[in-house]
Amino acid sequence: MPPRRPNPPPAPGDIPAPPDVSSIPNDVQRTVSGLGSRVLQPGTGTERPKPEDVVEVHYTGWTTDGHMFDSSVKRGQPTKFPLNRVIAGWTEGVALMVVGEKRRLWIPEALAYQGRPGAPAGMLVFDVELLSIEKKPEPVVIAAPADVAAPPADAKKTASGLASKVIKKGTGKVKPASDAMVEVHYSGWTTDGKMFDSSVARGQPAQFPLNRVIAGWTEGVALMVEGETRRLWIPEALAYQGRPGAPAGMLVFDVELLRIISPGTAAPTKAPTKAPAKAAATPPAGQ
């Protein structure tokens, strides 16, 4: 193993290392993973961050020989990041904290940079002050309609097996051709009522060529006019056809046709195999 490159001399403004950086003291809190920590300043908060939350912190880091390699305190600028996007020792250690708390973390190399070239090597020691927590918003879930399990008797059916029902009448006069570019809002559920996708929940309509989505969409949206909302019951043969990772079985969509961006010219055809190259959101892509 090549010798470790010597550390550069301390720079002006570097924060001196605490006296206990060389090894994990016996009296600190330890976790199963090997992380050591000690509270230096109690916090005022009551909640601890979850891995998906965004945290704002001030910190300083040293190697076990006392070399300071990074410090937001020295820069005079706190840092913010999703807690699950940093080294494992930070994800675990900061999750123990509340706002206002300052804690010293002894992070074994296996929870730090794991020998990554150019990164600080060995066990690292950080003093971390948790300044704020931004909770990840709870996902918006749109309740499934009562008739999601099967098409009702008043739904219209086509020869392909697609069933649909107008939920809100439209104001437009023209229906899109199968190669039209359209803008829609939609929500989709499996027949057990689980929502798997929704442009409504994202707050962003989707734009796509109508012949670049699953066959049930190509056929179903072509029945609509602008301003119309229609519920589609799409058999699996017109949906994802058992594709791994895609919603299985018959799918139910509420689709609102916001506008026909370009009406298209082609006669109705089976949806092709590629998803749109660019879209405002991700509609159900074809095979």
Q: Which of 126, 186, 208, 240 is catalytic?
A: 126
- Residue with tokens 């992380």, as numbered in its chain: 35
User: Is 81 part of the annotated catalytic residue set?
Assistant: no
User: Is 240 part of the annotated catalytic residue set?
Assistant: no
Q: Which of 14, 20, 70, 147 is catalytic?
A: 70
User: Is 254 part of the annotated catalytic residue set?
Assistant: no
The candidate with the shortest Cα–Cα distance to 209, out of 227, 183, 188, is 183
User: Is 186 part of the annotated catalytic residue set?
Assistant: no
Q: Which of 14, 87, 147, 261 is catalytic?
A: 87
**Gap between the Cα atoms of 7 and 23, Å rounded:** 18
For residue 284, the number of C-alpha atoms closer than 13 Å in the C-beta half-sphere is 33
DSSP 195-239: EEEEHHHHT--EEEEGGGB-HHHHHHHTT--TT-EEEEEE-GGGT
Q: Which of 15, 20, 69, 147 is catalytic?
A: 69
Q: Which of 59, 186, 208, 253 is catalytic?
A: 59
Residue 107: both structure tokens together: 């992070």
The candidate with the shortest Cα–Cα distance to 56, out of 131, 135, 136, 126, is 131
Q: Catalytic residue numbers?
A: 59, 69-70, 87, 113, 126
